[in-house]
Amino acid sequence: MRIQRRALFFAVWLVAAVPVVLGQGESAASSQGAKAAYVPTLTFDVASVRQSPEANSYMVSGGFTPHTSVFRVTNWAYYNLVAEAYGLQLYQISGLPRSWAMFNVEAKSDSDTDEKMAKLSKEQESLEQQHMLQALLADRFKLKAHWETRESEVLNLVVAKKGLKMQPASGAPPSA
């Protein structure tokens, strides 16, 4: 199953189902009252993005090496790369064609960037890593994204007409 390369180069729209949960819906006024927000600026210096060879089974692995700019993944679908780059769950992404195409990605920056990454807080490091992946996807896949709020169906857990049948938990440990 071979994916048409040009299909990946068309504009792809990313939709977050609930951006408020992810902090995207905060007003500028409430953000300014708190500590100034960290703005990520780092990018990868070199990157290799290759389609994985077809095989009978795939072992999916990889991610960022902690406190560095080194990113290595094996057999990742591009929608997983997008989810990682934007800190989303797959159900929050809309507009990406679902395909079985897998990619192997190796990317890194210089030692100065690694030193900067090592000095960042966990939140700042995560923002930098996401920014690096976003820049890589924009460069290699021509990805364009925007945030959007949509209404969707939800399920409510309610008590049945005959009343609650659950018993309160006891403090005793579970029996064998």
Using an 8 Å Cβ cutoff, are 86 and 130 in contact?
A: yes
In a domain, 9, yes or no: yes
In a domain, 162, yes or no: no
Residue 128 domain boundaries:
5-20+40-52+59-140
Coil vs helix vs strand at 164: coil
In a domain, 86, yes or no: yes
Alpha-helical regions (H) of the chain: 5-9, 28-33, 78-86, 111-119, 122-140
DSSP secondary-structure letter at 161? T
In a domain, 110, yes or no: yes
In a domain, 105, yes or no: yes
**Range 81-106 average pLDDT:** 88
What pLDDT score was predicted for residue 95?
Answer: 85
In a domain, 126, yes or no: yes
- Tens-place pLDDT, residues 12-57: 333 333 233 334 444 444 444 456 889 999 999 999 999 988 765 6
In a domain, 173, yes or no: no
Total-model pTM: 0.66
Domain count along the chain: 1
Closest CA to 104 of 49, 47, 65, 44: 49
Phi, psi of 86 (to 5 degrees): -110, 5
- Confidence category of residue 130, pLDDT binned at 50, 70, 90: very high
In a domain, 159, yes or no: no
At what angle are helices 122-140 and 78-86 packed, to 10 degrees?
A: 140
Name the region of 63 (left: φ>0; alpha: ψ -120 to 50; beta: rest): left
Taking CA atoms, 149 is separated from 17, 60, 127, 165, in Å, by 6, 31, 22, 37
